[in-house]
Amino acid sequence: MHIVQPGMEIDVLKENSKIAHENFHLMKEHKIKSIDFMGSIGAGKTALIIKIAEKLRAKGVRVCAIAGDVTGVDDYSRFEKSGLKAFNCNTGHECHLDANLVKKSLAEINMDDYDVILIENVGNLVCPADFPLGTDYRVVVISVTEGDDMVRKHHDIFLHSDIAILNKTDICDAVDVDPKIIADDYNKLTGGLKNIYMCSVRKDEGVDEIMAALKL
Amino acid sequence: MHIVQPGMEIDVLKENSKIAHENFHLMKEHKIKSIDFMGSIGAGKTALIIKIAEKLRAKGVRVCAIAGDVTGVDDYSRFEKSGLKAFNCNTGHECHLDANLVKKSLAEINMDDYDVILIENVGNLVCPADFPLGTDYRVVVISVTEGDDMVRKHHDIFLHSDIAILNKTDICDAVDVDPKIIADDYNKLTGGLKNIYMCSVRKDEGVDEIMAALKL
C-alpha cells in the first residue's frame, strides 16, 4: 500500500532502519552472513539462490533461505525441493520485504544451525530499494529479458545495492539485448565504484565470481 | 513510498477512485477509448503498445500514448521514434501510476485530436493493481520469461484487470516455460470468466485477437 505523506514516510523508513540494525546485530552475534537478493520478477533470483546454496553446501557451509513473496509458496517450494532449507515469508499485500517481516522470519530460524542466510525479496525493481533488511550485502539481479534500459529507468535500486547481477546472458540473442549497454549505464550511474557481474545461472557461468564478490 | 496504515490507505484509494471517475468521464466526453497496460518490467508493454498503435493508425484511428515510468524518457522516446505521439509521465519515486498523475497528463493532451489513448503503467506486477486510472480497460501483460508461476504469485493484478496477455510465446523453448501452466492457473483463478491471450509482439502473432478483445 502506498501513500505520499512526507512526514510519515520518514517515520516508516526510520523504523525500518532501526529494526534492520537489530537484524544485522542478531545475525552477527550468531556469526551469520546474509544477503538480500532484490530484482524484478523473472530475473532469476530463486534459481541463483539455489545455485549459490548448492555450491555453499558442497563446501560444507550451512545455508538456509527466506522466501519473500506477496502470496503463495512457489519459491519456498522450489528452495525446499532443491534441498535448501527455507522459511516462507508472505507480505500479504506489500510489494517488498521490510526489516520487520525479516525479523519475524529470523525468529523462526535456529540461528546456530546456519552460517549463511540468503533472502529472496519480492519480485519488484522499485520498492525494495527503500527498505534495507539488515543483511551484509544487498544485491540486485536483473535479466537480459528485461530489455537494455533497466539501469536508466531504475536508479534507486542500483544505487542502493552493493553489486548488480545481469542474468540469462545465454539468451541475449533470443531477446535482442546487448549486455554492454546495460553495463555501460551501470558504470556511468555508479561512477565505476561498484561492479556489475554477468552470469547465466542455467549454464553455471559467472556464479563463482558473484560468490567471490559476496565473500561466500 | 509505502505505509501500512489501514485508515489512510482507504483514503488514498478512495481519492484515487474519485479522480479515476473524473478521468473516465473526461475521456468519454471526448469520445476517447483508453486502456491501461500494466505488467512487470520486460513483459513487452512498450512493444505491444507500439504494435497496436501502428495497426490503429493503419485503420485511420488517431492514437496517442502516456508513458509511465519512475524516471527517464526511455519508453516515451521509443513511442515517439515509432511515430506514436506520446506524453511522458514520471512518477519520481512511486512504483505505479495513479489517477492524479494521469489527470495531469490528460491536461497536456488536446483531447479532440485523439480517438484512443494507450497508457503504459510503471513496470510492476504488484502495486498498479490498487490504482485504477479511469480507463475503459485494464490489461495485464506478462512474458514467458517471467516463469510459469506468475499467476499463482500475483492474484491481485490478474483479478483487477479485464484481460491478461502472455507475451513472447516465440521464446518459450529458450526459457523452458510451458504457457499452458500459466493459462491453466489464470483460468482457475478467474473461474473462466476472463480470457488470457497468447501473443508474440515481435512476430505479430496474436495482436489482432487482443485488439478485438479490447474493441479497438
Q: Is the pLDDT of residue B1 over 80?
A: no
Q: Which domains does chain A have, with CATH numbers?
A: 8-213 (3.40.50.300)
pTM of this prediction? Answer: 0.84
Asked whether A141 and A38 are in contact (CB, 8 A), the reply is: yes
Pairwise CA distance, residues B77 & B96, whole Å: 19
Pairwise CA distance, residues A13 & A4, whole Å: 13
Pairing verdict, β B196-198 and B85-90: unpaired
Distance, C-alpha B51 to centroid of its chain: 14
**Mutate which: B1, B9, B75, vs A, most A CBs within 10 A:** B1
Asked whether B1 and B91 are in contact (CB, 8 A), the reply is: no
Q: Grid coordinates standing for B3? A: 505505509
Pairwise CA distance, residues A148 & B17, whole Å: 34
* Predicted ipTM > 0.90: no
Q: Per this entry, what is the length of chain A?
A: 216
- Nearest by CB to residue B127, choosing from A95, A130, A147, is A95
Q: Locate all alpha helices (DSSP H) within A63-192, ordered by sequence.
A: 74-81, 99-108, 150-153, 155-160, 179-190
Q: pLDDT, tens digit, for every residue of B180-199?
A: 999 999 999 999 899 999 99
Q: pLDDT, tens digit, for every residue of A132-182?
A: 999 999 999 999 999 899 999 999 999 999 999 999 999 999 888 999 999
Pairwise CA distance, residues A95 & A40, whole Å: 11
Chain A residues with CB-CB distance to B94 below 8 A? 2, 4
Beta-bridge partners for A164 = A140, A196
- How far does B162 lie from chain A, in Å, by closest CA? 20
pLDDT at A1: 42
Categorize the per-residue pLDDT at A9 as very low, low, confident or very high, splitting at 50, 70 and 90.
low
Judge: A125–B5 Cβ closer than 8 Å, yes or no. no
Pairwise CA distance, residues B76 & B73, whole Å: 5
Asked whether B83 and B89 are in contact (CB, 8 A), the reply is: no
Categorize the per-residue pLDDT at B93 as very low, low, confident or very high, splitting at 50, 70 and 90.
confident
Judge: A152–B72 Cβ closer than 8 Å, yes or no. yes
- How far does A60 lie from chain B, in Å, by closest CA? 31
Q: pLDDT, tens digit, for every residue of B148-172?
A: 999 999 999 999 999 999 999 999 9
Average pLDDT value for residue range A173-194: 93
pLDDT at A13: 85
DSSP code string of B129-163: GG---S-SEEEEEEEGGG-S-HHHH-HHHHHHSSE
Kindly state the greatest CA–CA separation across chain B.
48
